[in-house]
Amino acid sequence: MCLLRSSRTRGSPLTSRTLEHTVVNSWQTCVAGNMAQGLIEVERKFVPGPDMEERLQELGGTLERRVTFRDTYYDTSELSLMRSDHWLRQRQGSGWELKCPGVAGISGPHNEYVELTSESAIVAELFELLEAEEPEIAGVAAVLGPLKLQEVASFITTRSSWKLALSEAHEQEPLLRVDLDSTDFGYAVGEVEVMVREKAEVPAALEKIFSFSRMLGVPAQEKAPAKLLVYLQRFRPLDYQRLLEANSSSEATGDLTS
């Protein structure tokens, strides 16, 4: 089950501001998978230029790996999960993940999420979200049919992962990590992230990411849409529009960008 909860009511529609921060805004804070360690992932998305890898090398970055994988996202025909800010994904070679909202409280344009990777926890959360009776034992694949969950997006990503430290960084400070993603439908997006253990460390992590983004030449106000949102916009425009309409009708505050 999600141990951290959003201040919104479970299952309530996303507001336009929330959706912008969730899948469009360049800043996000995510509570990453290992809850026992309490790791908080602070990240910024950006649009990488053609010479981004060369620039990372100039700044002392080290290429850790290059990988290719397929992500498949599932939801009901009414987009019940996405409209309540929950995102169910199966990644090739990594298994299932359900990203659900965490607790608000850090000021600024970012969100917190709990990323569930245990199938039993994911199943329990899905049945609670969709108000269905939970089975005694079942994996995620086994409950897709009963919950009327279907594939809404599937695409391949080629990723290069880099790590580096700012020259002025303390020896014990966490490394910056940069992922550069290129999809099979022609969209590329980058992400700078720092992992911290305490919420009090988040502002410093954000400042570190901001500083490094300036070194990369990323405009301060640049917003890079998430891969899933771009996929829906291009290939499932009706679903994309329904997602926007559901949010714009629920609250008038905030401007939704794409």
Per the annotation, binding residues for Mg(2+) are 41, 43, 179, 191, 193
Binding-site members are 41, 43, 45, 89, 91, 99, 159, 179, 191, 193, 227
Alpha helices in 3-118 (DSSP H): 16-19, 52-58, 80-83
Which residue from 6, 19, 12 is spatially nearest to 247, judged by alpha carbons? 19
Which residue from 130, 122, 104, 99 is spatially nearest to 226, judged by alpha carbons? 99
Q: CA-CA distance, 94 to 71, in Å (whole number)?
A: 10
Binding-site members for substrate are 45, 89, 91, 99, 159, 191, 227
Instruction: Using the structure block, give the residue that is written with the tokens 């979200």.
Output: 129
**HSE, side-chain direction, 13 A CA sphere, residue 222:** 19
Residues in the chain: 258
Instruction: Using the structure block, give the residue that is written with the tokens 């679903």.
Output: 239
- Asked if 83 contacts 129 with a C-beta cutoff of 8 angstroms, the reply is no
Residues 6+ apart with CB under 8 A from 3: 35, 114
Q: CA-CA distance, 55 to 127, in Å (whole number)?
A: 46
- Asked if 85 contacts 5 with a C-beta cutoff of 8 angstroms, the reply is no
Encoded tokens for 146? 């009963």
Encoded tokens for 30? 């995510």
Q: Find the distance separating the first CA and the last CA of the chain, reported in whole Å.
A: 31
SS3 127: helix
